[in-house]
Amino acid sequence: MIKTRFYDFIKSLQDTITTTLENLDGTTTFKEDQWNREEGGGGFTRVIENGAVFEKGGVNISEVYGPLAPAMQAYFKVGDVDFYATGLSLVIHPVNPQVPTVHANFRYFEMYDKSGEVVDSWFGGGLDLTPYYLYKEDAIHFHQVCKTVCNRHEVADYAIFKKKCDEYFHNSHRGEARGIGGLFYDYCKASDEHTMEDWLSFQMDMATHFLEAYVPIVEKRKELSYTPAQRDWQEIRRGRYVEFNLVHDKGTLFGLKTNGRIESILMSLPAHVQWRYDHHPEPDSPEEQMLEVLKNPKDWV
């Protein structure tokens, strides 16, 4: 079954990602927290904190199921159905403001009628980069990895998924993107041209190459010097990250509406954040240059 194969895959991938990031940090390890959901299922939350490289991060997997809550029935425009959802979700917040924050999510969803028959299923996910200072070569590298994976699969269209990412990770209330994007795709279903096996192959390939997209950037930037003012800018931009996750993010909404584990849902929030009233960077500064890119998304590859 696709759901079993995908869950087994993300269990193994969680080990690979956390081990790689622990080795990259060199001073601390992920702490694992297993949790159960009363209505059905549960997950494994792994969190790293107060490291030399990573200030806070989480790499979570979950597998939840049961009756779909009325609020989510209305959201999906369905009746009284059951559901199954599994996925891996991660957010990594670095110490050094020269190193970008990263987010990724790879998920699978099924709906069932009351006889247990699958009535709908789809994949969704993506990955996106949130730098505090713009290094064009890093943006190009991240997007090139995404495009290379997409090019291997007929179901995937880099240009479409990149555009959807720019549109989704957007703080519309501020008129700016959360970061420099990546890929975003959802409701990826079987069709006359493509099977769920095709989507599974793409999903696993993209998830496997997350580390290739992010780790070289961390290795290149983690030893760079930074000033207290640059750290302040990082924390101000993190405030925008928090705003998106609490105001716009569908994953947060789904977790809250399905009685998900609150600590796991909100592990994406950074430890140190600032909200300064009516803050504007200095004209022609690196901070202003970063903000201009966030207001006007670019094609990196």
Please list, residue by residue across 14-32, b when 16 or more beta carbons sit within 10 angstroms of its beta carbon and e when fewer do.
beebbeebbebbeeeebee
Q: Where are the beta strands (DSSP E) in the chain?
A: 31-36, 41-49, 54-67, 82-94, 101-112, 118-130, 170-171, 176-177, 181-188
* Whole-number Å distance between alpha carbons of 244 and 59: 19
End-to-end CA distance of the chain: 36
Asked if residues 100 and 94 have their Cβ atoms less than 8 Å apart, the reply is: yes
* Whole-number Å distance between alpha carbons of 231 and 225: 11
List active site positions.
103
* Whole-number Å distance between alpha carbons of 189 and 66: 21
Q: Which residue's entry shows tokens 């079954």?
A: 1
User: The dihedral of CA 237, 238, 239, 240: what is its sign?
Assistant: positive
* Whole-number Å distance between alpha carbons of 136 and 56: 25
* Whole-number Å distance between alpha carbons of 209 and 147: 11
Could you say which DSSP state residue 267 is in? G
Q: Which of 76, 66, 8, 16 has the alpha carbon at shortest distance from 46?
A: 16
